Amino acid sequence: MDNLDIKILSELLDNCRESDRQIGAKLGISGGAVHSRIQKMEKRKIIEEFFIKVEPPVLGYGVLYFVVSGEKINDVLDQVSLVGEPFFVAPCIGGITVCSIVIKENLEQKIELAKKLMKDIRVLSIFEAKNPGFNSNLTKTDLEILEELIKNPRQKIEMIAKHTHMSTKTITRCIEKLKKNDGIQFTLIYDPKKIESFIPHAILTWISKNVKETLKEMNEKFLESYLQIPFIAKNQIVLFMYSKNIFEMDRLTQQIRELKNVESADLFIPKKISFFNKWLEEFIFDSKKLSKLHLSYQTN
């Protein structure tokens, strides 16, 4: 991969519904050249699939994150599945796995239950991703279109209209609404091991105060190293970055730790990234049975 490939990948991670022509205009190349590079990344399985990621708090659920020692993913999933539905799993360099589960209710009780169930696994950290105030005012129409987008987030509006029997105007309006929701992201899943010449990594930061001010400072200083836009969860900012070598990666991590409001910053280098949407598909299936048109949710 070269610099153009990583920039195209970055654009798609932030919004995979951007057209090849739009991406090309940003990067100073033709839409055809963008299309060709995307096809090559798909053929080489650098891009594994296009994906729509919905943060569970948007639909009233809590999220519980685990950092565990070990890479036996099936063992970890078997344990956490007894507490909630899997949301995210990433085995990392150094024998550490980061994963999260979706919790419907009784979050505090589920944390205690998780600790008991995972007694055979060395748990380094368990924490709740606090809801940063995601907008959750969705309608049944939104969910029906979302159900189609789960199948293929890059699906053409005309094709969605054919499958849902809705007008293209309604679908266009709905997709724009979903794009503006900070808790919904049109993105992709990639294979970190196949990104040659670059090292993708994530830095989980804990912020003491002024999260927005700290994020602004991070954006000003580290924007060129972003692989995708940062994720905010209450007093946490997760930075998704890439470096050319381990020394650059270490330097970036140290610079982030030295920022005024950063209490701590932990570096994770994923070897594989997996997201799960079973919880979302079940939610949509159940919600479509409800009689009300507007569906607003609040996390317990």
Report the distance separating Cα 180 and Cα 71, nearest Å: 36
Report the distance separating Cα 276 and Cα 126, nearest Å: 19
Note the pLDDT tens digit of each residue in 181-209. Answer: 888 999 999 999 999 899 999 999 999 98
**7 and 223 in contact (C-beta within 8 Å)?**
no
Domain with CATH 3.30.70.1150 in the chain: 195-268
Report the distance separating Cα 26 and Cα 57, nearest Å: 32
Number of H helices, E strands in the chain: 11, 13
- Taking the domain 3-44, which CATH number applies? 1.10.10.10
Among residues of the chain, what percentage have pLDDT more than 70?
90
What is the per-residue pLDDT for 134? 67
Domain with CATH 3.30.70.260 in the chain: 61-130
Domain with CATH 1.10.10.10 in the chain: 3-44
Which residues are CB-contacts of 284 (< 8 A; sequence separation ≥ 6)? Answer: 143, 144, 146, 147
Q: Which of 142, 170, 148 lies closest to 160, judged by CA? A: 148
pTM comes to 0.87
Note the pLDDT tens digit of each residue in 4-31. Answer: 999 999 999 999 999 999 999 999 999 9
- Residue 274 corresponds to which tokens in the numbers above? 């997996």
CATH code 3.40.50.720 for 61-130: no
Note the pLDDT tens digit of each residue in 31-42. Answer: 999 999 999 999
Note the pLDDT tens digit of each residue in 57-101. Answer: 888 888 888 888 866 667 777 777 778 888 989 999 998 988 888
In CATH, what is the architecture of 195-268? 2-Layer Sandwich (3.30)
In CATH, what is the architecture of 138-184+283-295? Orthogonal Bundle (1.10)
